[in-house]
Structure 1
Amino acid sequence: MSSTTPRYAALAGVTAAAAAIGSAELVAALTGPRSSPLVAVGGLVVDTAPEPVKQLGIALFGTYDKIALLVGTALLLGGFAALLGVLAVRRLLIGLVGIGAFAALGVMAALTRAGADVADALPSLIGAAVGGLTLWAFVAGPLELDPWPWSSPGAAPAAGVGAYSEPTGPPASPAPGSAASPAPGSAASPAGRSVVSRAGGSVAADSRRRFLGGVGVVLGVAAVGGVAGRWLAGRRGVSAAREAITLPAPVSAARPVPAGADLGTPNLASYVTSNKSFYRIDTALVVPQVDPQTWRLRIHGRVRNPMTLSYADLLARPLVERYVTLACVSNEVGGNLIGNARWLGVPIQELLDEVGPLPGADQVVGRSVDGWTCGTPTAVLRDGRDALLAVGMNGEPLPVAHGFPVRMVVPGLYGYVSACKWITELELTSFADFDAYWVPRGWSAQGPVKTQSRIDTPRPRNRPAAGPVMVAGVAWAQHRGIARVEVRVDGGPWQQAELAPTVSVDTWVQWSWRWEATPGEHTLQVRATDRTGETQTGREQGVAPDGATGWHTVTVTVT
């Protein structure tokens, strides 16, 4: 096989894969974006990957972890397709079987997602058919390179100008030194075949041009198909429906943010996090598009009076507005997977009082439209805190990426046990009877937020000048509140920082401390004490199984 042949063969495989994905995306625009093979297989990876791998992904890519997963899946598919192309030149059946295997994986991944139906298998099946046809065209059909060197062991290509021709009888023994005798050191034709000469190589050049031209056309069509599929899927989204919604005024408005709650210090996180900047961590590779007109919330399970609510029913109920800080359990010490927003919604306690939980129903399972679940203690939802079925965020309907049309917001609990987005069910059950999504994956069944603090400024890359330096950050202990924040330098005595005012115990608080910095390298540490008197521990622990612990530490060089 010539040195260029493996590259052309790999290119044929990658082109076939691109055709398969592009056509599958077009079909998925009709059957739903979750049925896309890339998305379906990526979702399967999310559900089955070992927990350390998931945490590594979040640590490396943060809120871009899903994009990284999709790109990684595409790259792995490209490498697999390139290998299939090389193998298919030797035996086409191998390439077709490989495409069929990937199609089977896509079908299985799509059909095992929550709410799947038979139509979700179509993108993978049609994509595989298009990919297989494309591979055939480049390996054995009209676009094949002329010829692929011995494309199948023991099988001769079609005879013709520039093709191998099989001898009709025993090869004659040419006289030494004759024109038919191979030159010393030259390569004899494989399997006793002779090569018919090409007129000045023009046939080979025409073959390559035909092959590469076909590759360019197929890749272009595949790219257009993929982009068109994504665009059509977006057109089927609910952005227009969201923009048409006017939220009712709350019967109980949020307390105004007090003067001085936001210190305005450079690099310090703002007291209220914008919708655009609010972190997003969930398992949905494609944001669910839920039509508010057809959305329903079913409250059932171990209750006396099950109920079902529409979106209009929810908006017709008395709504309350509250500032609540949410935090992800995957937030490392000093991390940014946390944000504070103004939420509008229906108190969950009122709904639970109406359905009447039965004895022993100590868990409320929130279920998303994509099947994801979280388990929240029933007692927490009924202890008077502002746990909401939220419909609004910072004065507008929920952003689609943050759970539109309805999500849960519960102060004092990590999101994995409370913050169900795109919610469609509340099921009353017990912790003994049901484990929510993350529990079998090694996380605690109940996840109260730990008392934490963070240094936002100065940052490690900063080089402040000697003299007065403002050290500032945020601290949080939702539903308990922060009583004190302390800072120390180079392991010295703890110095009390000044706390900014805050709306309530359910939000974080900004803090500041003036440091008389001296030249050299220094280590700053911070700790907080909540209003129950518990001081943040310095013992370092990773995020699993119920949240990270330790003191946030920053090393800076003072000039």
Structure 2
Amino acid sequence: MEKRIGAGAAGWAGVASAIAGAGLGELVAAVSAPRSSPFASIGSALIDLAPTWAKDAAIALFGTADKVALLVLIAAVLLGAAAVAGLVQRIRPPWGSALAGLLGAIGIVAAVTRADADPLAFLPSAIAGATGAAGVWLLIRPTADQAGGLSRRGFLVATVSAAVVGGAAAAWSGAGNATGRSIRVVRDAIRLPSAHNRASVPDGADLGIEGVAPLITPNNEFYRIDTALIVPEIDPAEWSLRIHGLVEREITLTWDELLALPLEESVTTLACVSNTVGGGLIGNALWLGYPIRHLLADARPLPEADMVLSRSQDGFTAGTPLETLTDDRNAILAVGMNGDPLPFEHGFPVRMVVPGLYGYVSATKWVVDLEVTRFDRARAYWTDRGWTAEGPIKLHSRIDVPRGSEVPSGETVVAGVAWQQHVGVAGVEVRVDGGSWQRASLATAISDDTWVQWSLPATLTPGEHDLTCRALSRAGETQTAEQAPPAPNGATGHHTVRVTAA
């Protein structure tokens, strides 16, 4: 007499089948279509489809770990759906198996509609879906004494084996991507040419106060906010940049041609528009690259052009005002960061760095295309999602020390950083408990395109205190106290920290 397996066993069988399918899908992706793994395809689609408020919430909650959080969420939803598929198969076969196959179909659609889809983009998710569906069908059958049915021990062995095979395949795919390894070897072997114009850091630029953000942000500490769930790994030998659109002369530039140009060093602070008041989505680096204005001068934009639409290898786009790429600021195609080739996470082999603009309209990583156009003819990734078309950096300051909720009473130092790239900071003021504003000492700025450190000695009596700062710009602006969220064009307000002097 046939007997259905228990509900718990059916759910576990669905989960085991999904793990096996996902693992084999990741393994196939590593071999045939690295950019089309099931997790990455679905995750990238979710990033693109998510409303602006959801993206902002994810960044505010998880910061630069937002992609890890998304992958964990996808895995949890997948396993939950797989368990449901197992339960459905137990009572309404073959609909549970069909549901497992549907998960693979969703991955296929997500993969083939990506801008950077591989020719075999459909294959990893197809394998994953077929494996999951077959696993559900094979494992969740009547475990009777009938021929062909699985014994309790056979069922246990089969499900555990499926989970182990899937996990091992996923791990092997992550470690065995030969294409990624070879490109990493290529990057590590690159020796960047010397800069035609070298940047220098003036004496007095670093106050040397412990706890204040370092003047130059190390590469491994530089914030990362982008839409790439899988970091593109581009072979420099295959990279090229096309400049076209409203130009008299179309230009295509290769990696070797770019390195042969007189590259320049510049120190520039980049900031994310999602940064909250006092937040850490900002960093300062020494960049090596070639001025974009020279390339645009060769291309000769037509008079009606007012925007450059940059495109990343993975399909991301940013719309940058043409004038910010043709004036005298250090807007560059960067190939180096703090003395090394760009890290993969920060745009290797080539990215854009444009002082004075938030990254969503200027700092395109893995850039492969510059289309000279107009704001009324083209829209970019984030402007399609409600952010303003132009994103000039707003005047900001931040308190870095004292840190923590408790500090010793008496003499202390209040210090931090301030910035408004391409405008410059003229001063910083601090007040304690809503009192009068006191002028802080300002370090020597590297340039108007970088943040500047500041400090102020203060005496704190025992008890709670609110410390607030505001910046003054070289253009005569005082940082506004009006509180505004990051959307649609950058947060505003004074940074305040509360401490208890013991």
TM-score when normalising by structure 1: 0.87
Match of 1:542, as an amino acid? P
Q: Give 2:194's match in structure 1, choosing from 249, 252, 259.
A: 249
Instruction: Please state whether the residue corresponding to 2:427 is helix, strand or coil.
Output: strand
Q: 1:77 to 1:9 in 2, by over 3 A?
A: same
Give the corresponding residue for 2:239.
Answer: 295
Give per-residue Cα distances to partners, 1:4-60, cap 9 Å, x unaligned: 811111000001100110110011012333211111011010001111111110011
Corresponding residue number in structure 1 for 2:452 = 509
Indicate which of 385, 388, 402 corresponds to 1:444.
Answer: 388
Gaps of 5+ in 2: none
* 5+ long unaligned stretches in structure 1: 148-157, 164-205
Q: How far, CA to CA, are the matches of 2:498 and 2:349 in structure 1?
A: 43
Q: Is the aligned partner of 1:500 residue 2:433? A: no
* Match in the other structure for 1:285: 229
Q: What amino acid is aligned across from residue 64 of structure 2 in structure 1?
A: T
**1:133 to partner: Cα distance:** 1.7
Task: Using the TM superposition, name which of 28-37 and 64-73 deviates more.
Answer: 28-37
Does the Cα contact within 8 Å between 1:473 and 1:512 map onto a contact in 2? yes
- Structure 2 residue aligned with 1:240: 185
Supply the AA of the counterpart residue of 1:521: E
The 8 Å contact of residues 332 and 353 in structure 2, kept in 1 or not, is answered as yes
The residue type equivalent to 1:33 in the other structure is: P
In the TM superposition, residue 92 of structure 1 has moved relative to its aligned partner by 2.5
The residue that corresponds to 1:361 in the other structure is 305
Distance 1:118 1:333 in 2: 44
Deviation string 1:513-539 (CA, Å, 9 cap, x unpaired) is 001110000111100011000010000
Counterpart secondary structure, 2:16: helix
Q: CA-to-partner distance for each residue in 1:288-320, whole Å, 9 max, x for gaps?
A: 010000101001111001010100000000100
Amino acid of the structure 2 residue aligned with 1:252 = N
SS in 2 for 1:276: helix
Instruction: Spell out, residue by residue over 1:159-214, the C-alpha distance to the aligned partner (whole angstroms, 9 max, x if none).
Output: 589x9xxxxxxxxxxxxxxxxxxxxxxxxxxxxxxxxxxxxxxxxxx933222222
Mapped partners of 2:318, 2:203: distance in 1 = 37
The answer as to whether partners of 1:453 and 1:527 remain within 8 angstroms in 2 is yes
- Deviation at 1:115? 2.8
State the distance in 2 between where 1:537 and 1:377 align.
25
- 1:222-262 per-residue CA deviation (whole Å, 9 max, x = no partner) reads 1110011111226534211111111111110002x223322
> Among 543, 546, 557, which residue is 2:486 paired with?
543
SS at match of 2:74: helix
Q: Which residue in 1 is equivalent to 2:28? A: 27
**Contact in 2 for aligned 1:303/1:358 (Cα 8 Å):** yes
1:401 aligns with 2:402: no
Structure 2 counterpart of 1:425? 369
Pair 1:9 & 2:10 matched: yes
Match in the other structure for 2:261 = 317
2:113 corresponds to 1:112: yes
Instruction: Determine if contact 2:485/2:492 at 8 Å carries over to the other structure.
Output: yes
Q: Distance in 2 between matches of 1:51 and 1:233?
A: 33
1:2 Cα deviation from its structure 2 partner: 11
Which residue is 1:305 aligned to? 249
Asked which structure has the greater CA Rg, the reply is 1
Kindly indicate whether the alpha-carbon contact (under 8 Å) linking 2:99 and 2:133 is maintained by their aligned counterparts in 1: no
- 1:81-480 paired onto structure 2 within 5 Å: 81-140=82-141, 146-147=143-144, 159=146, 207-233=151-177, 235-237=179-181, 238-255=183-200, 257-459=201-403, 461-480=404-423
Aligned amino acid, residue 253 of structure 1: R
Q: Is the 8 A contact 2:242 2:251 kept in 1?
A: yes
* Residue equivalent to 1:520: 463
User: What is the SS of the residue equivalent to 1:216?
Assistant: helix
Query: In structure 2, what is the Cα distance between the partners aligned to 1:31 and 1:422?
Result: 22
Contact 1:32 1:233 in 2 (8 A): no
Spell out, residue by residue over 1:353-382, the C-alpha distance to the aligned partner (whole angstroms, 9 max, x if none).
000001111001110000100010111111
Indicate the residue corresponding to 1:42 in structure 2.
43
Alignment-mate amino acid for residue 508 of structure 1: W
How far residue 221 of structure 1 moved from its aligned partner, in angstroms, is: 1.1
Aligned partners of 1:33 and 1:39 also within 8 Å:
no
For 2:324, the aligned partner's letter is V
SS at match of 1:119: coil
Amino acid at match of 2:199: A
Does the C-alpha gap of structure 1 residues 2 and 324 become closer, same or farther in structure 2, counting only changes over 3 Å? farther
Which stretch has the larger CA shift, 289-298 or 3-12?
Answer: 3-12
- Determine if contact 2:98/2:133 at 8 Å carries over to the other structure: no
Question: 1:543 Cα shift?
Answer: 0.1
RMSD (Å), alpha carbons:
1.7
Cα distance change of structure 1 residues 328 and 234 upon mapping to structure 2, 3 Å threshold: farther
SS at match of 2:121: helix
Instruction: Report what 2:475 is aligned to.
Output: 532
Count of aligned residue pairs for this structure pair: 500
Equivalent position SS for 2:500: strand
- Which amino acid letter does the alignment assign opposite residue 429 of structure 2? E
Structure 2 partner of 1:78:
79
TM-score normalised to the size of structure 2?
Answer: 0.97
The alignment partner of 2:457 has SS state of strand
Task: Report the Cα distance in structure 1 between the residues aligned to 2:360 and 2:231, rounded to whole angstroms.
Answer: 17
What is the letter of the counterpart of residue 14 of structure 1? V
1:310-344 Cα offsets, whole Å, 9 max, x none, are 00000000100000000000000000000000000
Query: C-alpha deviations, 1:55-78, integer Å up to 9, x for none?
Result: 110011100100110110010000
CA distance in structure 2 between the partners assigned to 1:307 and 1:326 by the alignment: 27
* Matches of 2:351 and 2:233, distance apart in 1: 13
**Partner Cα distance (2:313, 2:119) in 1:** 18
Larger mean Cα displacement after TM superposition, 315-324 or 237-246: 237-246
Check whether the contact 1:387–1:408 (CA below 8 A) recurs between aligned residues. Answer: yes
The letter for the 1-side match of 2:59 is I
Q: Name the % identity.
A: 51
**Matching residue's letter, 2:480:** T
> How far apart, CA to CA, are the structure 2 residues paired with 1:502 and 1:113?
43
- Encode CA deviations 1:464-498: one digit per residue, 9 max, x unaligned: 11111111000001011100100001111001100
